[in-house]
Amino acid sequence: MGMIANLATGLMATRVKTDLEFKLGSLSERRMAVLDKSNEVSVFYSNSIFTPTKQDDVFYEQQLLKLQTLDKELNNQMRQLETQLKIYTEIKEDQLKGSKQNAKKEFTVDA
Protein backbone atom coordinates (compact mmCIF):
# COMPACT_ATOMS: atom_id res chain seq x y z
CA MET A 1 0.00 0.00 0.00
CA GLY A 2 1.17 3.47 -0.73
CA MET A 3 1.46 6.33 1.65
CA ILE A 4 -1.79 7.98 0.46
CA ALA A 5 -3.74 4.73 0.80
CA ASN A 6 -2.38 4.26 4.32
CA LEU A 7 -3.36 7.79 5.29
CA ALA A 8 -6.85 7.41 3.80
CA THR A 9 -7.41 4.14 5.65
CA GLY A 10 -6.07 5.71 8.84
CA LEU A 11 -8.47 8.66 8.46
CA MET A 12 -11.39 6.30 7.86
CA ALA A 13 -10.43 4.35 11.00
CA THR A 14 -10.26 7.65 12.91
CA ARG A 15 -13.77 8.58 11.75
CA VAL A 16 -15.20 5.20 12.75
CA LYS A 17 -13.32 5.37 16.05
CA THR A 18 -14.81 8.81 16.79
CA ASP A 19 -18.31 7.52 16.00
CA LEU A 20 -17.78 4.56 18.33
CA GLU A 21 -16.54 6.82 21.11
CA PHE A 22 -19.65 9.00 20.72
CA LYS A 23 -21.92 5.94 20.87
CA LEU A 24 -20.08 4.72 23.96
CA GLY A 25 -20.60 8.08 25.63
CA SER A 26 -24.30 8.02 24.80
CA LEU A 27 -24.69 4.49 26.14
CA SER A 28 -22.80 5.47 29.28
CA GLU A 29 -25.19 8.38 29.86
CA ARG A 30 -28.19 6.11 29.33
CA ARG A 31 -26.73 3.60 31.74
CA MET A 32 -26.24 6.32 34.37
CA ALA A 33 -29.89 7.34 33.94
CA VAL A 34 -30.96 3.71 34.42
CA LEU A 35 -28.84 3.47 37.57
CA ASP A 36 -30.36 6.70 38.91
CA LYS A 37 -33.85 5.34 38.27
CA SER A 38 -32.86 2.05 39.96
CA ASN A 39 -31.73 3.96 43.02
CA GLU A 40 -34.98 5.89 43.07
CA VAL A 41 -37.06 2.70 42.82
CA SER A 42 -34.91 1.08 45.52
CA VAL A 43 -35.63 3.96 47.89
CA PHE A 44 -39.37 3.64 47.28
CA TYR A 45 -39.11 -0.11 47.71
CA SER A 46 -37.26 0.21 51.01
CA ASN A 47 -39.81 2.80 52.21
CA SER A 48 -42.65 0.46 51.32
CA ILE A 49 -41.46 -1.80 54.14
CA PHE A 50 -43.11 0.62 56.57
CA THR A 51 -46.42 0.55 54.71
CA PRO A 52 -46.40 -2.93 53.27
CA THR A 53 -48.82 -3.96 50.59
CA LYS A 54 -48.24 -6.95 48.40
CA GLN A 55 -48.97 -4.92 45.25
CA ASP A 56 -46.27 -2.38 46.08
CA ASP A 57 -43.70 -5.10 46.64
CA VAL A 58 -44.49 -6.81 43.34
CA PHE A 59 -44.54 -3.51 41.47
CA TYR A 60 -41.15 -2.37 42.79
CA GLU A 61 -39.58 -5.79 42.23
CA GLN A 62 -40.81 -5.78 38.62
CA GLN A 63 -39.48 -2.26 38.08
CA LEU A 64 -36.08 -3.21 39.48
CA LEU A 65 -35.95 -6.33 37.32
CA LYS A 66 -36.74 -4.30 34.18
CA LEU A 67 -34.09 -1.76 35.04
CA GLN A 68 -31.49 -4.45 35.77
CA THR A 69 -32.27 -6.13 32.45
CA LEU A 70 -31.91 -2.82 30.61
CA ASP A 71 -28.61 -2.16 32.39
CA LYS A 72 -27.27 -5.56 31.31
CA GLU A 73 -28.31 -4.89 27.70
CA LEU A 74 -26.58 -1.50 27.73
CA ASN A 75 -23.49 -3.06 29.28
CA ASN A 76 -23.37 -5.73 26.54
CA GLN A 77 -23.73 -3.07 23.86
CA MET A 78 -20.89 -1.10 25.44
CA ARG A 79 -18.65 -4.18 25.47
CA GLN A 80 -19.31 -4.77 21.78
CA LEU A 81 -18.51 -1.16 20.96
CA GLU A 82 -15.34 -1.30 23.08
CA THR A 83 -14.21 -4.37 21.12
CA GLN A 84 -14.82 -2.56 17.83
CA LEU A 85 -13.02 0.48 19.19
CA LYS A 86 -9.93 -1.60 19.95
CA ILE A 87 -9.98 -3.04 16.43
CA TYR A 88 -10.20 0.37 14.78
CA THR A 89 -7.54 1.79 17.09
CA GLU A 90 -5.17 -0.95 15.93
CA ILE A 91 -6.10 -0.35 12.28
CA LYS A 92 -5.44 3.38 12.67
CA GLU A 93 -2.07 2.83 14.36
CA ASP A 94 -0.99 0.24 11.77
CA GLN A 95 -1.97 2.47 8.86
CA LEU A 96 -0.24 5.52 10.26
CA LYS A 97 2.87 3.48 10.97
CA GLY A 98 2.73 2.14 7.39
CA SER A 99 2.38 5.64 5.97
CA LYS A 100 5.43 6.82 7.93
CA GLN A 101 7.45 3.88 6.64
CA ASN A 102 6.28 4.55 3.08
CA ALA A 103 7.15 8.24 3.44
CA LYS A 104 10.68 7.33 4.55
CA LYS A 105 11.04 4.99 1.56
CA GLU A 106 9.52 7.33 -1.02
CA PHE A 107 11.24 10.50 0.10
CA THR A 108 14.68 9.12 0.85
CA VAL A 109 17.28 10.18 -1.64
CA ASP A 110 19.91 7.60 -2.40
CA ALA A 111 23.28 9.10 -3.15
Interval 25-78: pLDDT, tens: 999 999 999 999 999 988 888 877 777 677 777 888 899 999 999 999 999 999
Q: Following CA atoms 93, 94, 97, 102 in sequence, which dihedral angle do they give, to the nearest 10 degrees?
A: -150
Q: Which domain holds residue 22?
A: 3-101
In a domain, 53, yes or no: yes
Q: Where are the alpha helices (DSSP H) in 1-111?
A: 3-47, 54-106
In a domain, 106, yes or no: no
In a domain, 71, yes or no: yes
What's the pTM?
0.76
Per-residue pLDDT tens digits for 3-26: 788 888 889 999 999 999 999 999
In a domain, 7, yes or no: yes
- Cβ-Cβ contacts under 8 Å for 38 (sequence gap 6 or more): 64, 67, 68, 71
